[in-house]
Amino acid sequence: MSGPRPTSITLTERQQSILEQMVRRSTSPQRLVMRAKIILAVAQGQNNSQIAKQQMLRRNCAAKWRKRWHAASARLAEMEDKGVDDKLLREEIEVIFADAPRPGTPAKFTAEEIVKIVAVACEEPKASGRPVTNWTPKELAEEVIQREIVASISPRTVGRFLKAKQISSPTSAGTG
C-alpha cells in the first residue's frame, strides 16, 4: 500500500557540494553527516523508505528532514541569489540541520552559574570562613547561596555538579 508521493528536492551545485563536504569532513558531527546523507539521497530521488533502510533509521526521520529542507529551500535559494559565500551558506544549512528545542522543564541553572559554583568548589573552604577542610555539598550549597550566585540550590544538586566535573577540593587533590 503506497501513500502520498514524498516531496522532491532539487539541490543547487553549491548546496550539493556543501552537503558532500559535510559528509566527507572527519570533524563533522555525526548527526549532521546523517542529515546531509538523507538530503543527498532525497535529491537522488530516493523515497523515505529507501533512505531509512539505507541509513538504518526510521522512515519518519527521513520524512522529517525532507520536510525541513523543503521548508528552508526558498531561504537557501534567496541566499544564493544574493551571492553569499559558501561559509554563510554552510552555516545556514547547519541551522536547518540543528535539533529543535526539546520539550520539558528548562534548565534551572545557567552554565555561568554552574561555572561559578565549580569555581567556589576549587577555593579553600577556610578562605570563606567555613570551619571545614574540604567542601561538603551542604557547605558549598550554603556558600553559593550566601554569595548570591544562585537564589537556592540543594546539596544534592551541588554534589551532581561536582561529580559531573570530577572536582575535588584543593586540600584533597591527588589523594583520591
Judged on CB neighbours under 10 Å (0-12, 13-18, 19+), 112 is: exposed
Is there a domain that residue 103 lies in? no
Is the per-residue pLDDT at 120 higher than 90? yes
pLDDT in tens, 46-104: 999 999 999 999 999 999 999 999 999 999 999 999 999 999 999 999 999 998 888 88
- pLDDT tens figures, 135-170: 999 999 999 999 999 999 999 999 888 887 665 544
Is 150 among the domain residues?
yes
Q: pTM to 2 decimals? A: 0.59
CA dist 120 and 133 (Å) reads 14
C-beta of residue 65 within 8 angstroms of C-beta of residue 35? yes
Residue 54 lies in a domain: yes
Same-domain pairing of 84 and 143: no
Q: How far apart are CA 12 and CA 32, in angstroms?
A: 19
Residue located via cell numbers 570562613:
129
Residue 130's alpha-carbon distances to 18, 67, 138, in angstroms, are 57, 58, 11
35 vs 69: CA distance, rounded Å: 10
Tell me, yes or no, whether 20 and 85 share the same domain: yes
* Residue 8 is assigned to a structural domain of this protein: no
Domain holding 67, by residue range, is 13-96
∠ at Cα 81 (77, 86), nearest 5°? 80
> Tell me: the pLDDT tens digits for 3-36?
677 788 899 999 999 999 999 999 999 999 999 9
Please state, rounded to an integer, the average pLDDT across all residues of the chain: 88
146 with 91, same domain?
A: no
As given in the structure block, the three cell numbers for residue 125 are 573552604
Q: Total structural domains in the chain? A: 2
In a domain, 33, yes or no: yes
Q: Are residues 35 and 74 in the same domain?
A: yes
Count CB-CB contacts under 10 A for residue 40: 19
Per residue in 68-80, pLDDT (tens digit) is 999 999 999 999 9
